């Protein structure tokens, strides 16, 4: 429970950072100026100065290495190392897209009993972990509102990563967006709406390069952090609504082995659900690393539960 509260804070904080990075000049690419802006400073590699004869070729190469190549290697290398050891932590604990996925899952489940339009059967209204999702048709309005609202927000935010945020906000509020700005926001809102409605899990699985590379790095390490299932106590599942499966935002079955968990985001919602079904400290699902996770990675998947 505390872990989920902590995750709520990290996700909210990062979502706020995602919205505020452009107006606070923390990070954006200014297409009008033709360079990045990072922590309030112009992040450029001196190519303009080189062509104007204000910088020697050697100094320009040094600038590209120190300001471009090295930060990129450190950033990507650091990300791969974290994923190799801990899996898709970024997805489950920070990613703004995954926050929207979880919210829409929850609203859709309240509207229809299914967290996704592609789920074949309805999930129980009351889970063994005590959470309830009473089915109410009016939740479709909230679902639609959330999908369109977040799609519009994302479209505007993405545009502020490319053009000066003050200009975009001012044009938007005064209804004076240029044709291209209006087109960008309109098309992006439409595409995001379709993606959030129909393909949000598919995007997390195969469409997002950041997610895919985290998964690949994680799968290469048998000893990485992984959710494991205590099979010796597996009989305890017989009376459960399969709360762990039903709560998984990625629609995975957390009791299966690692090969079936390629897109696990380490959100730990399954562990939390089982702890509520059993008792504090008695969850059948655990995070494991090292030898124990290696055993989990290599074992055969159970063919069927319950």
Smallest gap from residue 115 Cβ to ligand SF4 (A): 12
In the complex with ligand SF4, which residue's Cβ is closer, 95 or 163? 95
Distance CA 111, CA 105 (A): 10
CB of 195 vs ligand SF4, minimal distance in Å: 19
What distance in Å separates the CA atoms of residue 176 and residue 239, rounded to the nearest whole number? 60
The angle at the Cα of 186, spanning 183 to 192, to the nearest 5 degrees, equals 130
Count of beta carbons in the 10 Å neighbourhood of residue 12? 11
- Residues 245 and 284 sit within 8 Å (Cβ to Cβ): no
d(CA 289, CA 117): 35
Q: How far is the CB of 95 from ligand SF4 (least distance, A)?
A: 12
Q: CA 213, CA 88: separation in Å to the nearest integer?
A: 9
DSSP label at residue 45: -
Closest approach of ligand SF4 to the CB of residue 242, in Å: 4
User: What's the closest the beta carbon of residue 292 comes to ligand SF4, in angstroms?
Assistant: 16
User: Which residue's CB is nearer to ligand SF4, number 146 or number 226?
Assistant: 226
Closest CB to ligand SF4 among residues 213, 262? 262
Distance in Å, CB of 44 to ligand SF4, minimum: 40
Q: Identify the bridge partners of residue 132 per DSSP, sorted by sequence position.
A: 126
Specify burial of residue 298 (Cβ count, 10 A radius: 0-12, 13-18, 19+). Answer: exposed
Q: Contact at 8 Å (CB) between 87 and 79?
A: no
Question: What does DSSP assign to residue 303?
Answer: S
Pick 177 or 248: Cβ nearer ligand SF4:
248
> Least distance from C-beta 269 to ligand SF4, angstroms?
4
Q: What one-character DSSP code corresponds to residue 65?
A: I
Query: In terms of CB distance, is 181 or 266 closer to ligand SF4?
Result: 266
Q: Is 143 exposed, middle or buried (0-12, 13-18, 19+ CB in 10 A)?
A: buried
Assess contact for 205 and 263: CB atoms under 8 A. Answer: yes
225 φ, ψ (degrees, to nearest 5): -60, 130
- By CB under 6 A, name the binding residues for ligand SF4: 128, 227, 236-237, 240, 242-244, 248-250, 252, 254-255, 261, 264-270, 273-274, 277, 284-285
* Pairing of β 35-38 and β 41-43: antiparallel
DSSP state, residue 28: E
Q: Which is nearer to ligand SF4, 21 or 264 (CB)?
A: 264
Of 80 and 236, CB closest to ligand SF4: 236
Q: State the minimum distance, in angstroms, from the CB of residue 87 to ligand SF4.
A: 8
């Amino acid at each position: 429970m505390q872990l989920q509260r902590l995750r709520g804070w990290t996700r909210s904080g990062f979502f706020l950072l995602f919205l505020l990075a452009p107006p606070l000049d923390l990070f954006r690419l200014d297409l009008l100026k033709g360079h990045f802006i990072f922590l309030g400073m112009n992040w450029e590699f001196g190519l303009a100065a080189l062509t104007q004869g204000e910088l020697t070729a050697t100094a320009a190469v040094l600038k590209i290495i120190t300001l471009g190549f090295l930060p990129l290697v450190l950033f990507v290398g650091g990300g791969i190392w974290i994923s190799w050891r801990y899996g898709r932590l970024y997805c489950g604990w920070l990613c703004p897209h995954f926050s929207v996925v979880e919210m829409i899952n929850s609203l859709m489940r309240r509207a229809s009993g299914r967290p996704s339009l592609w789920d074949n059967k309805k999930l129980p209204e009351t889970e063994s972990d005590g959470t309830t999702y009473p089915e109410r048709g009016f939740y479709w309005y909230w679902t639609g509102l959330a999908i369109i609202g977040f799609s519009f927000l994302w479209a505007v935010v993405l545009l502020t990563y490319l053009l000066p945020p003050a200009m975009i906000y001012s044009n938007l509020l005064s209804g004076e967006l240029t044709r291209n700005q209006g087109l960008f926001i309109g098309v992006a809102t439409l595409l995001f709406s379709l993606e959030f409605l129909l393909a949000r899990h598919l995007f997390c699985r195969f469409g997002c390069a950041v997610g895919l590379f985290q998964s690949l790095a994680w799968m290469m390490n048998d000893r990485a952090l992984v959710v494991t299932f205590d099979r010796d106590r597996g009989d305890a599942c017989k009376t459960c609504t399969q709360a762990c499966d039903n709560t998984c935002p990625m629609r995975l079955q957390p009791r299966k082995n690692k090969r079936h968990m390629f897109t696990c985001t380490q959100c730990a919602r399954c562990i939390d659900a089982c702890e509520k079904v059993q008792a504090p400290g008695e969850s059948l699902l655990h995070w494991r690393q090292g030898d124990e996770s290696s055993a989990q990675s290599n074992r055969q998947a159970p063919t069927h539960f319950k």
